[in-house]
Structure 1
Amino acid sequence: MLDRKSYTLYKFHKQLNQSFQNKRSLLECALPALRNLFKLDRVYFFDWQQERALLSLKMMCKKEYCMDMQEDISVLNEPVFLRQLLQTGIAETTDLSYPALYVLVKWERPSVELKAGEIHSYMQERVGVLRLERFRKNRVFTNAEIDLIKDLGLEISHNLRNTEIDQAKNQRLRVSTALNDLSTIFASSLRLNDGLELILKGVQKYFRFDRVRLYLTDADGSKIKSVLGVDVSGKVTHQDGRALHEGEEKLLKEVFESSATYRSVRSVVYIPLKVQRNKVGFLTFDNLLSRRKIGYLDFISLQQFATQMALTIDNARLFERVQELSNYDELTKLPVRRYFNEKFAEELYRSKRFDLTLSLIIMDIDWFKQINDGYGHQIGDWALKEVSKVIRNSLRQTDVPCRFGGDEMIIMLPRTNGEEAKIIARRLQERIHAITLPDRYTDGEPVHLSISQGISSYPQDGLTPEVLLEKADKALYVVKQNGRGAWAVYREVAEQAEAAVESPAENSSKHPAETSEKSPADASSHPEK
């Protein structure tokens, strides 16, 4: 048979023996229970900031409800009161005109600290104080009540510890689930930058950092290639690695040279992202504006996520590299025909929508068959590489060149009319004409390359990709008929081009370079001297 005290403790234990979402939920259950058990008028809960000797009021319970409160009470000048509370766990105050009792509550919660760049997790002791009040002067607390209240305070302490641990576990599970969902979406994203933006927004959202930044390195991990950032407003910023300060470049070396999983520099936390020996980049986060402490769960969750994130970025980079290789010709490093056709259709649509001009250049290398026949396909490949190099170095970033097949190449020139395209054609001709075949193959004689170019423009020469390609090819045909080594805009040679189509030459089934017409160097197998 339980005595009255044991029964009260058991009953109180049953009331608190449940899962609480957080400390506040627990106190909303415990404080009314204390009020009813001891017929109290008010019950308060304080957090005790021992280093500042402050009791920080958090909650008050009276009648049938609890409310959040905020008030700091200094106990710096109360040495006797403090000594008694710390030694016995309970103390009565004489400052009030009615009975009031202070009860010490101690518990532990998961916490973390950074020391020399290393994370140390531990259970941090927390201290709280209950204040129980009765407004009637004659209703003082008896010794039996005080003894029972001390035991109930221990029960509250035990449940506070369990609630803090459960809350930490639940929060960690929620964050891990959220990050796992983000990683799944990221892994399925076809574009690396889109996936990275999604990840950073998710990290900022779930961890509520003031700022999250991702520094990505180049292929060998020696330089910062780009920086992607998200701030507390959710705004995404992009920064090129070339625009970084010297200190940020120096930081790359410091982060990766450290053996620690984390590194803290001036209240900013850095997490290196590595896949085996590959340096992918590093993640940084801080709360410099809000001054909010970065908690235990933030570190643990991001520690688990960093490896997964690094692996996903590395895989995405590899995928993009494979995509890039499939879009470019291995010999000339120019885009292939499939990629060009996609870009051509997009740019033509943009030109139609915004009433812009667009030009197309089709070219091939003069007497390329004779180069292959006279000097071998190795020299033919060399000529293609050199011509392609000139093309890549002579165009704007918005221009799109392409190896269309064999020695034929195409260049799309957005926002360029026919006259402007002729200037570009002249520049290409001059630069390519400066290329000479290696003299060890030509007996020391200078043999120059040359190209023929046909030009068409939107909208004057055509409104569709097929028509523009056809008109540029007809202009190229005219250039070849007239001796090669030049360029022509379709509308300027339209009559001649259409006449050539209507009255094809005897060997019309052959390309002009393969007809009976001889090159200037047929006798010696030289393309052009």
Structure 2
Amino acid sequence: DAVTGQPPPGPLPSPRALWPARQSVGWAVTGVRIDDAVVRSLPASNAALVEGGRVVGASSRVPSGVLEVASQEDAVGTISTVGGHAVTVETVADDLRLLVWEPAPGVGLLVLAWIVLLAWALIAVLLTLVAVRRGVSDPLVRAAAVARHAADGDLEHRLDPAGATELRELSGALNDMGVEMDRRLRELADSRDQLRGALSRLGETLSSSLNLDRTLAVVTDTAMDTVQADRAMLVLTTENNDLDIKIDRGFDLPEATRFDGHSLPGWVARTGLSVRLPADRVVISTAVAGGILAIHQLSVPVTGTATGGRIGALLLARPDAGPAFTEDDLRTVRTFAGQAGVAIENVLLHQEARRLSLTDPLTELWNFRYFQLQALREVEAATRYGRPLGLLIVDLDHFKRVNDRHGHPVGDQVLAEVGRRIRTSTRLPDIVARYGGEEFVLLLPGTDAAGAVVTAERIRRRVARLPIVAGGQDALRISVTCSVGVAAYPQHGATVDELLRRADVALYTAKSQGRDRVVNADDVGAEVRVPVTHRDSRVGAH
């Protein structure tokens, strides 16, 4: 096209002046018509013709945000970055603009960089997790395994104290706990074995031994084992209230050594108080003149139950440089000494009984002499402590017929079996003695008249329940019955003689009423007199 005057405005390409060396007469302008087909045929960048904000032709879909750039006045002739695209706008005509865009330079590299960065971050996280597992989880798993072994009783496993400070502290604490538990278990096992052995020895002594020396030795050795003492001494009270050394383990005192009532053993035996040194030194400082044989010493009384007296004292000691006895040690030894006192007293009583021949050789029951001694003591104790005391007299019915029919040897067998049945029908504290002939007498400490009647009925039924087999090869089966008279302190008498008389009256009444029965002294008047023939039956036989 040719135009005159000034060059045409706008972005028309390549205007050339006509005759530039001379006076210009006009301008020659060349160009290419731009329409939708031309835009679509562009080989490189994406392009679009936009008129009034509306796309009139485009080589491809216009991305979101790119179209808005064409409407901006300040966007003409510049390159903008929108949504990852580089965008340029040129004015083609008054309201027609050419919009060209392509991916912004470097966007692909940025995305790649982000991808690489994320990949490395993921790898770092994985490595961290592995490190955490190895540094935290694995030690915890090992710690749990050690704990399970400990729960199963296996305390030999230990943890390697490695890793973070907290894990090292945890491992060390678990290892220390295992060592301490193992030590405590070993101590408990040793203590259990010692106690088992001690109880076994004591049980054997209580059940079978009537030898005083053996009993005293077992008691002393058991006490030493119980509290881990290295020295011990057992002293017994004499008739003069001195104390003889019966057992000496480690003190090595002369055999003739005796302690009087002012010595520590004598004071303990006399007062019944226990002493633990050095803790109780102030308590005994003004009362004891001697007998303190060690810095660490236990002294406890050995007491009986039947006589209620002080049998003696038990002394235990540890090395002066060793640990002191504890309050638990004192309680343990005091309890043990009470049990040992029963064993020692049984032996002493047995020896006394043998010395005085206080047993009946036929029935192996106490004889009437022993009964008299014990009856006096029991009445005195009942008076002092205000407790009841029952007394029974048991007599076999028509026993003379047994002797006349079968002979005295068979009669003796019947008496022995009746004595056994009576003894097994009573309690351990009860005293069963042969009164004379076919009569037996019983003391029931702590039993009133009603309780004594119950015991009497039990004896009567047991005697009559089964025939007595006697006669050796002849195998005689002899049925016997008995009558029982019952009296009780204090309602039937305050002395042994009064109780015996009231029980004898009740027995006579039982025989008068038909035999094989129990009669309480409450049911018989105190004025009833027993015929002489009945009293003489103790040396004869019914």
Q: TM-score, normalised by structure 1?
A: 0.39
Larger of the two Rg values belongs to structure: 2
Task: Report which of the two has the higher share of strand.
Answer: 1
Higher relative contact order (CA 8 A, sep 6+): 1
Q: TM-score, normalised by structure 2?
A: 0.38
